[in-house]
Amino acid sequence: DAGVIQSPRHEVTEMGQEVTLRCKPISGHNSLFWYRQTMMRGLELLIYFNNNVPIDDSGMPEDRFSAKMPNASFSTLKIQPSEPRDSAVYFCASRATGGFYNEQFFGPGTRLTVL
């Protein structure tokens, strides 16, 4: 199994540009989570999906952030327009069907730098 796949691994962009982060969950997992990690705030949940439906997006910082999951094997997190304070490592994680204790498998992350 390839695990959770994220792309790109690194992204450097200028303030005001649109950024799209991509995630492919582990096949068969029905829950997908987007997190943001910074030194100051630690690991924060942004949004999560169950069976492709957004369940809780209360962690999304503001309207500049949006996430979609058009099918069970793909999700995107978009930031438009990006700002320097969005610089962080963004992780995608997925959970196995029937995983009562919510064991989550994380991707390697996308390191985003907004200049």
C-beta of 35: minimal distance to another protein in Å? 8
Beta carbons within 10 angstroms of residue 57's beta carbon: 15
18 vs 108: CA distance, rounded Å: 22
3-state secondary structure of 24: strand
Tokens describing residue 57: 């997006």
Distances (CA, A) of 110 to 26, 99, 107: 17, 25, 9
The token pair at 78 is 């978009």
Q: Is the CB of residue 72 less than 8 Å from the CB of residue 53?
A: no
Nearer to another protein, 4 or 114 (CB): 4
Nearer CB in complex with another protein: 72/81: 72
Cβ distance to another protein smaller for residue 33 or 65: 33
Q: Which is nearer to another protein, 45 or 72 (CB)?
A: 45
Binding site for another protein (CB under 8 A): 4, 31, 33, 42-43, 45, 48, 50, 55-56, 91, 93, 100-109
Output the smallest distance, CB 60 to another protein, in A: 13
